[in-house]
């Protein structure tokens, strides 16, 4: 597999995992897609779309989703020197 195909595969895997984790997060807090939609002020099919593999979510949408589940979004950035920089959005 060449480098571009490998990078593309990693990107796809990351997107799929993100979307799986969104559904798992919602299930962990015992909310349905309908309840999440109501909390977000959107329709249930939109929530389903957010959770669909391959969907490229904006960070602001992810933040709203996490907050609708009752959580806070924290970002941890690993810098080239191995140190971490974290912040709450």
Structure confidence at residue 11 (pLDDT): 72
Residue 58's domain is classified under what CATH number? 1.10.260.40
Tokens of 80: 């080239």
In this prediction, residue 13 carries a pLDDT of 65
- Total structural domains in the chain? 1
| The model's pTM | 0.73
Quote the domain boundaries for residue 27: 3-88
- In which residue ranges of the chain is pLDDT below 70? 1-3, 12-20
């Amino acid at each position: 597999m060449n480098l571009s195909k490998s990078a593309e595969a990693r990107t796809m895997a990351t997107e799929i995992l993100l979307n799986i984790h969104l559904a798992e997060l919602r299930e962990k807090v015992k909310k349905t897609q309908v309840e999440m939609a109501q909390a977000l002020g959107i329709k249930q099919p939109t929530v389903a779309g957010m959770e669909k593999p391959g969907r490229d979510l904006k960070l602001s949408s992810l933040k709203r989703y996490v907050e609708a589940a009752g959580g806070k979004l924290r970002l941890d950035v690993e810098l080239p020197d191995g140190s971490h920089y974290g912040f709450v959005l």
